[in-house]
Amino acid sequence: MNNRSKWSIRYQELEVENIHLKSLIDEHLEYRNLAEQTLRHNAEFLAMLSHEIRTSMNAILSLTALLEQTSVNTEQRYYLDLMNTSNVTLVALVNNILDLSKMEAGKMQLDNDPFDLINVIEDLLYSVSPRAFQKEVEVILAIESEIPLFVMGDALKVRQMIMNLVQNSIKFTHKGEIQISLLMLESAVELASVQIIIRDTGIGMSAKQLSHLFHNYSQVHESDDHHYGGTGLGLAITKQLIELMNGKIEVKSEVDIGTEISIVFNFKKYMEVPAIPFKKDLLSLMNVMVLDQNKTSSQLICNLLIEWGASVTYRLEMNEEFFEDIQESMYDLILIDLRTINPHLWEREKANLKKQPLAVLAPLGDKVEGEFKDMFKAVITKPIRKLHLLNGVLAVEID
């Protein structure tokens, strides 16, 4: 057989192989298109189903809230609290499924409206912090003065992301504190680079657990001591939302030490509403004592008061030295953390305390009422909101 014949046969073989490969490619393309179409249909179905479930769940939440306002006995109140916990869990799950389905369908859209970033963070902390305080875990909010009042973005999504992360910190922190900080990294005329840090003293994570942190349906903590539950969707969706907003998230953690989550957003400032500056000399004539057993919280409060011009002394315990100090010194205001009060010493010194200008720092959810409340000129709730603290102090000064 000559070379021409050999090349002719080889050419025919290659043609057959080419036709076969083309057929396989067409077949794979058809399967891929079918798979993509199925995924889109599934995502659309999940979105529709989640929306319908969420509508019903919101109605149940509203009805439960109305029922709580009626006269109920202790047993009924217990059942209502369980209903509320289940309702909130279900709504969060449905919202996560809805968001996941939107992302998979490529239909997730972000709003770009002006919103008060500080107020969003403060409000969401007020909604979740009672659960932390019930475990005697301190919740601390620290906001730098340079943070702009209004920025452009999707307020609901920012709230959802930070809520997921803070709730996770509360879930895995059984002692100590959770601190949420807002820091200004960089500020231009129209842009603000804001860092949100969530730091806790919880159970922490190993390097292996960190590597699975943002995977769908992944639970990194399995423990015989605590049943944490959850679907693992919240953090995965949070990371996708942050990246959708051109932000970035970093996580550091040590087992039995705690976790630190850092998120950086680049917001466009809303220039039509200027920030309201706090005057540096608002409290320049005040001498204030701060009594708080939590060092981080105490330091934060002291720094704010000093920033406004006050002279500040702080103590971590209600002991004999504390009472000697307030007897010998002339304080214009004594800020007392509710959980730092020594009941025995309080009763013993009640007559002297009534002569002092007192304000109480009360963890959200703790009741201050009756004769005990009358001891104080102001009740300031924790986590401390900057404006609430200032208004409480000014109310005492005016009084």
Sign, CA torsion 267/272/278/281: positive
The stretch 364-379 carries a mean pLDDT of 91
| pLDDT at position 217 | 47
Q: 139 forms bridges with which residues in the sheet? A: 178
| pLDDT at position 266 | 94
Report whether pLDDT(276) > 80.
no
Alpha-carbon distances, residue 331 vs 285, 292, 334, 379 (angstroms): 11, 16, 7, 18
Three-class DSSP labels, 100-127 = HHHHHCCCCCCCCEEEEHHHHHHHHHHH
Q: Which two tokens stand for residue 177?
A: 């504190």
For 362, the 3-state DSSP assignment is strand
Tens of pLDDT, residues 313-368: 999 999 999 999 999 988 999 999 999 999 999 999 999 999 999 999 999 888 89
Neighbours of 42 (CB within 10 A): 13
Distance CA(37)–CA(119), nearest Å, equals 42
Backbone angles phi, psi at 322, to 5 degrees: -60, -45
DSSP assignments along 15-66, one per residue: HHHHHHHHHHHHHHHHHHHHHHHHHHHHHHHHHHHHHHHHHHHHHHHHHHHH
Tens of pLDDT, residues 70-118: 887 877 877 777 777 677 667 777 777 777 767 766 667 888 999 999 9
Q: When comparing pLDDT for 176 and 231, which is higher?
A: 176
Residue among 276, 248, 253 at smallest CA distance from 264? 248
Tens of pLDDT, residues 192-201: 999 999 999 9
Q: Which two tokens stand for residue 233?
A: 């969707």
The stretch 39-46 carries a mean pLDDT of 65
| pLDDT at position 295 | 94
Dihedral angle computed from the Cα positions of residues 18, 23, 25 and 30, in that order, rounded to the nearest 10 degrees? 170
Please enumerate, as own/partner, the contacts of 102-110 that have beta carbons within 8 Å and a separation of 24 or more: 102/43, 102/47, 103/237, 103/240, 103/244, 104/39, 104/42, 104/43, 105/39, 105/40, 105/43, 105/44, 105/47, 107/43, 107/47, 108/244, 110/153, 110/154, 110/157, 110/244, 110/245
Report whether pLDDT(269) > 60.
yes
Half-sphere exposure in the Cβ direction for 102 (13 Å, CA): 16
The stretch 18-26 carries a mean pLDDT of 76
| pLDDT at position 302 | 96
Res. 224 pLDDT band, cuts 50 70 90: very low
Res. 15 pLDDT band, cuts 50 70 90: confident
Half-sphere exposure in the Cβ direction for 314 (13 Å, CA): 21
Check if the beta carbon of residue 337 is closer than 8 Å to that of residue 294.
yes
User: What are the residue ranges of helices labelled H in the chain?
Assistant: 3-68, 74-104, 117-134, 155-172, 207-211, 233-244, 295-307, 320-328, 343-348, 350-353, 370-373, 386-398
Res. 182 pLDDT band, cuts 50 70 90: very high
| pLDDT at position 137 | 95
Tell me which DSSP letter residue 330 carries: -
Helix (H) or strand (E) holding 339: none
Amino acid occupying residue 111: D
- Please name the residue that has the structure tokens 């922490």: 204
Neighbours of 162 (CB within 10 A): 21
